[in-house]
Structure 1
C-alpha cells in the first residue's frame, strides 16, 4: 500500500482529487490543507506528497518539503500538478525536490500509476511540461528572489517576508532590488507584473 498525502487549499478540489486517487485500491489517500501538513506528516508518514502548483499557499508547501531534504533524512517523494506555461512554478518545484510533474490540463487516466511510480523513487514528467521545465532554467531570478517576490505579490510587507523566511529586513530589500533590476521593472509592482507575464510567479 502506498500512502499519499494530498495537499490543497481549496476543499472542493481537494475532495475531488482525493476521490480520484482513491479509485486505486493500492493507494491510501490522506488529504489536508496547508495548515494540516505537519500533523498529517507525523500521523501517516506518507510515501509521496501531491500538491497543485496553482493552489494558494503552494509556495509554503514547497518550502516545507525542501526543508525536509537533509542528508540522511527520510523524506517523502514530491509530485506536483502543474501547467507548462508557468516556468517559475516548475522551477520552484524542482528546487523543492519534485520528481513527478503532471500536467493538470491533461488526461487523468494515468494519474494513479504516476503517483505509485514516484512514491517508489521513480521520476515522471508529462511531455507537455517538459519544455516549460527546460525554460525554467532560463529564469533570471534566484530561487530566493522568486520566493521573496512571490510573497510580495501576495501583499506581504518586508517585515512579514523577513519573518516568514527567517531573513533580516535589509536582506529582503536587497532581494527585492535585485528582482527589480533583473526583470527590468521600474519598481516592485512592475517586477511582479513582468514576472507573472513570463510565468515565473
Structure 2
C-alpha cells in the first residue's frame, strides 16, 4: 500500500483529488491543509506528498518538505514529492525542483494517469509530463537577483520607495535602481507590469 499525503488549501480541490486518487485500491490517501503538513509528516512516514503549486501556501509546503525530507527523531519524513503544475509558471517549477520534486504533472492535462504517476514516483521513479519538460528546463533561469525580487515583492505589497528603503536599510536611489533593473530584466513597461509578469511566472 502506497501512503499518499495530499496537500491543498482549497477544500473542494482537496476533496476532488482525494476522490480521484481513492479510486486506486493501492493508494492510502491522507488529506491535509498546508498548515497541517509538518504535523502529518512527523506523525507518520509517508511514501509521497502530492500538492498543487497553484494552491495558496504552496511555497510554505515546499519549505516544510525541504526541512523534513530526511528521517529524524521527530518521526517519519516524506520520501518523494510530486507536484501539479502549469507550464507557464516556471518560478513555481524551480521551487519544486529545489525542494526535491521528482514528479511533475500538468494540471491541465489528462487525469487518467495521475494514480500511475503517483505509484511510479513513490517507488523512486521520476516523471515529467511532456508539456512541462521545456518549462522545467527553463525553471532555473530567473532573471532577477534575490535583492531585486525582494524589492519588487515589497512594491507588490504596496510599499513606497521610502518605506522599502527603510525596511531594507537602503538609500531611496538604490531602491529605484533595483526597481528599474527589475523592469528592464522582465521586459516590462513599468513597475506594475514587472510585478504582473513576475507573478505570472511564479517568481513572486
Please confirm whether the aligned pair reaches a TM-score higher than 0.5, indicating the same fold.
yes
Is 1:193 the counterpart of 2:193? The answer is no
List per-residue Cα deviations over 1:75-129 (Å, max 9, x = no partner): 4211100011111111111111111000000001111111111111111000000
Evaluate the alpha carbon distance shift between residue 195 and residue 117 of structure 1 in structure 2; reply closer, same or farther with a 3 A threshold: same
Query: Where does structure 1 differ by over 6 angstroms across 4 or more consecutive aligned residues?
Result: 171-177, 185-188
> 1:85 maps to what in 2?
88
Q: How does 1:86-125 map to 2 (within 5 A)?
A: 86-125=89-128
**TM superposition score normalised by structure 1:** 0.78
Unaligned runs of 5+ in 1: 158-168
> 1:23 maps to what in 2?
23
Q: Indicate the RMSD between aligned Cα atoms, in angstroms.
A: 3.4
Q: CA deviation at 1:65?
A: 1.4
Distance 1:176 1:112 in 2: 49
Unaligned runs of 5+ in 2: 160-166
Between structure 1 and structure 2, the one with the greater Rg is 2
Distance 2:80 2:152 in 1: 24
> 2:164 maps to what in 1?
none
Kindly tell me the number of residue pairs found equivalent between the two proteins.
189
Evaluate the alpha carbon distance shift between residue 58 and residue 179 of structure 1 in structure 2; reply closer, same or farther with a 3 A threshold: farther
Q: CA deviation at 1:180?
A: 5.9
Q: CA deviation at 1:182?
A: 3.9
Q: CA deviation at 1:144?
A: 8.3
Distance 2:170 2:20 in 1: 41
